[in-house]
Chain A
């Protein structure tokens, strides 16, 4: 797969295309230019470290939406075994924007549920760009209940621009579907671990995000509104998205520092899309540790901690 580059990655793109050219020359020539290639590669990695070490919030949102970033199904295939996808909300339809089912993680049965974006035009349409309709949330709800009944821990993978704003979605109760999930997850009698793998878009993300431990990949985002949406409302222009992104505090380290996420999972240098394998290893380790941690707790303790954590969200002062 040919790597696609983001705007701010252009210097890297130039170097890498030069390396490609040199490699082709090398193949048909007797002159040894290996050393030059090595030098350029070292320079590329230096540049990558420099650029990725200084990403601003808006650049991170673009990495979070990178078209080659691993999606839910990619993580399921890499980190889980024996996946059985379960379909439908038993009332209206199956929403392909959310996938879920039973699988094994470290050999133990779990329920895994996540938003699914599409890789190509056709799949994007099918998955509705990862924007669920009410039936998607109701499928997730059905799987939460199933996991509770059979004592399976739940892992949610969050990656959505938001819940779908459509006529049918409103008619079928988008608000209620999201609200019900928040309510049920907050008292669900089984451990829940959430991972923001890309875009954590508002209520549409939160419906999979009421959890015991919230993990966030290093270059993912989690926000009450998209930077573009916020910019056009508060800053009166969508061009101000980068300013809005900064103001909204949507990045993993910032959210970790204010206590709204529990753990930042490191991504490979240059983002998850540059090395799926490294990304998978990093998340495998984190999930394995977190799962062990939550499973050590008694159910009573787990629910109490989850509730207290939810109640602690928010900052205010006590006046007169």
Chain B
């Protein structure tokens, strides 16, 4: 069990590994929420959202980008920024080995992918977390790629979008990871000076150091339905306060009710809603839905 699986409540855990892998060649898939048996192809065509109960499964960063961005004119940013091991960190496994195995399992160099492109022909730079890469944890590479994404947005006068899915700071880089919270937040001041919108999209889960930095600094903060969002993990809170947590605690709907996020948006509407918000904030003509 990875450290991230450990801190997640059981409900989330069950849904964590998309059931793809258990089904031979993925003909069928069972919704972890409502138990409906679904055709994989139907689910894929439906942005990995259950057509029966609208449960949003976790998706990879590349799938997310494919869903969100127009097919043409994409350019990856800061892919050349790769992790090192600044503290020669070792727990039960060496950090360098953990990184290597994550790289080969996930097929990404680190936990954040940044892409320049457009949504309904509205230019944007999008940063997306890959949760499968060490729990989407933020270390030096995530911080640096984020900053370069912000810089690219400023250079191209585009809006900047970040889609978070992260357990928080990456422990294996020690204080370097903590400092990424300050670094990413500071970079957003420049985007603000350039009067460009920052849209923060919180998906399941957005916790710890990611939640307590740029993710909560969006001009507009969007959440996906049911996403777990918070500073401290539910287990840590339960152990600290020694009470049972209220129903729906730290879910997107809970945050909306408490005034922490602006809107909850269904993944299937994300393109249209984001391009709508961005064009309005940038005083541009309304987008043509594609």
Q: Is the CB of B7 within 8 A of A317?
A: no
**Mask: chain A, 202-227; 1 = CB below 8 Å from B; 0 = not:** 11001001100000000000111100
Distance between Cα atoms of A224 and B183 in the complex (Å)? 14
**Mask: chain B, 162-192; 1 = CB below 8 Å from A; 0 = not:** 0000000101111111111111011111000
Is A182 in the interface zone, CB < 8 Å from B?
yes
For B231, list chain A residues within 8 Å (CB).
163, 165, 169-170, 174-175, 178, 203
Distance between Cα atoms of A316 and B180 in the complex (Å)? 12
Binds B, one of A17-25, A43-51, A294-302, A307-315: A307-315
| Closest partner residue, chain B, to A181 (CB atom) | B185
Q: Is the CB of A179 within 8 A of B175?
A: no
Give the residues from 123 to 172 in chain B that come closer than 8 angstroms, CB to CB, to chain A.
Answer: 139-141, 143-144, 147, 169, 171-172
Q: Is the CB of B186 within 8 A of A170?
A: no
Q: A165-B237, A311-B147 are in contact. Are A174 and B212 (CB under 8 A)?
A: yes
Q: Is the CB of B140 within 8 A of A171?
A: no
Is A235 in the interface zone, CB < 8 Å from B?
yes
Distance between Cα atoms of A282 and B87 in the complex (Å)? 30
- For A, the interface residue count at a CB cutoff of 8 angstroms equals 53
Q: Is the CB of B175 within 8 A of A250?
A: yes
Q: Is the CB of B237 within 8 A of A170?
A: yes
Shortest A7–chain B CB gap in Å is 24
Q: Is the CB of A255 within 8 A of B183?
A: no
When the two chains form the complex, which single residue of B139, B141, B174, B186 contacts A210, counting CB atoms closer than 8 Å? B186
Q: A247-B89, A316-B140 are in contact. Are A203 and B209 (CB under 8 A)?
A: yes
For B215, list chain A residues within 8 Å (CB).
175, 179
Q: Is the CB of B241 within 8 A of A167?
A: yes
| Closest partner residue, chain A, to B235 (CB atom) | A165
Q: Is the CB of B140 within 8 A of A183?
A: no
When the two chains form the complex, which single residue of A174, A249, A315 contacts B140, counting CB atoms closer than 8 Å? A315
Q: Is the CB of B185 within 8 A of A183?
A: yes
For A203, list chain B residues within 8 Å (CB).
178, 181, 208-209, 212-213, 231
Q: Is the CB of B84 within 8 A of A224?
A: no
Q: Count how many pairs of residues, one from A and one from B, have CB atoms less than 8 Å apart in the complex.
A: 195
**Mask: chain A, 148-175; 1 = CB below 8 Å from B; 0 = not:** 0000000000000001111101111111
Distance between Cα atoms of A260 and B173 in the complex (Å)? 12
Shortest B165–chain A CB gap in Å is 15
For B182, list chain A residues within 8 Å (CB).
182, 186, 206, 209-210, 310, 313
Q: Is the CB of B171 within 8 A of A170?
A: no
Q: Is the CB of B178 within 8 A of A316?
A: no
Is B105 in the interface zone, CB < 8 Å from A?
no
Q: Is the CB of B84 within 8 A of A317?
A: yes
For A230, list chain B residues within 8 Å (CB).
171
Distance between Cα atoms of A3 and B6 in the complex (Å)? 40
**Mask: chain B, 3-24; 1 = CB below 8 Å from A; 0 = not:** 1001100000000000000000
Q: List 20 A-B contacts (CB under 8 A).
A: A167-B241, A167-B245, A175-B260, A179-B213, A203-B208, A225-B169, A233-B3, A233-B171, A234-B92, A235-B91, A247-B89, A247-B90, A250-B175, A255-B175, A313-B143, A313-B183, A315-B176, A317-B83, A318-B81, A319-B80
Going nearest first, the 6 A-B pairs with the smallest beta carbon separation are: A165-B232, A314-B140, A186-B186, A313-B179, A182-B185, A234-B91
* A-B contacts besides A182-B181, A260-B176, 15 pairs, CB < 8 Å: A165-B231, A165-B233, A167-B237, A167-B245, A171-B258, A175-B212, A182-B186, A203-B178, A224-B174, A311-B186, A314-B179, A314-B183, A316-B140, A316-B144, A317-B83
